[in-house]
Chains A and B, each alone.
Chain A
């Protein structure tokens, strides 16, 4: 089965707090890609990162960082010093060869950052 679980439905933080969004995935394939997208109220999905299954190196991009752990099938996303503009719905997605590379999305996590 190919599945993405984002257990956190909604998270509220105060500006400048750090916040981690969890993502757990399932696939039998050894070759796969993981993605994170941001969906602001306007509706457009904004691509944040792509990671392939052979690269477990963590990545940092400004205030964003990603922790990929194959041992726990997790691909978590941390925002450091959150800002009000970070408020959005965040989706984790999986694409695996066993399912013809169809992209499967999690249900999303609503992040609310209050000033």
Chain B
């Protein structure tokens, strides 16, 4: 039973570029949440998807957008990358918003 898988593992981009990160939820899970974790800090909630719609959103600008597909997998897109976007991006899946979330290993994004 595969857990949450994220790709790629690492990514290097330059300022102004765009990036897409991918997440496949744990089998049987239908809710996907994305978090940004800067170095030395706790994860910050970006948004949550359920039934292919964004259900909740944290305090992130519109440059951060996402999508959920019919198979429950999800993408996180970030446009016009800034140096401050450098972080570990974590995807978590669950059966519902308050059920325990299972996290992937994350994608480490570095902006040069």
Residues on A lying within 8 angstroms of B by beta carbon are 4, 33, 35, 37, 42-47, 50, 91, 93, 95, 100-108
Minimum CB–CB distance from A76 to chain B (whole Å) comes to 17
With A and B bound together, what is the CA distance between A95 and B101 in angstroms?
12
**B90 proximity list for chain A (CB < 8 A):** 45
Q: Could you tell me if B41 and A107 are in contact, using CB atoms closer than 8 angstroms?
A: yes
Size of the chain B interface, CB-CB below 8 angstroms: 26
**B98 proximity list for chain A (CB < 8 A):** 33, 95, 101
Known contacts A50-B100, A101-B56: A43-B88 contact under CB 8 Å? yes
Q: Could you tell me if A45 and B92 are in contact, using CB atoms closer than 8 angstroms?
A: yes
Q: How would residues 71 to 93 of chain B score, 1 for a CB under 8 Å from any chain A CB and 0 otherwise?
A: 00000000000000000101010
B102 CB-CB contact with A under 8 Å: yes
Q: Could you tell me if B41 and A45 are in contact, using CB atoms closer than 8 angstroms?
A: no
Q: Could you tell me if B102 and A47 are in contact, using CB atoms closer than 8 angstroms?
A: yes
B58 CB-CB contact with A under 8 Å: yes
- Closest residue to B58 on the A side, CB-wise? A102
Contact of A43 among B56, B100, B105 (CB under 8 A): B105
B66 CB-CB contact with A under 8 Å: no
Per CB-CB distance, the 4 closest pairs between chain A and chain B, nearest first, are A105-B42, A45-B103, A101-B97, A47-B100
Q: Could you tell me if A104 and B105 are in contact, using CB atoms closer than 8 angstroms?
A: no
Q: Could you tell me if B42 and A107 are in contact, using CB atoms closer than 8 angstroms?
A: yes
Q: Which of B40-64 contact A (CB under 8 A)?
A: 40-45, 48, 55-56, 58
**A42 proximity list for chain B (CB < 8 A):** 105
B106 CB-CB contact with A under 8 Å: yes
**A45 proximity list for chain B (CB < 8 A):** 43, 90, 92, 103
**B88 proximity list for chain A (CB < 8 A):** 43
B68 CB-CB contact with A under 8 Å: no
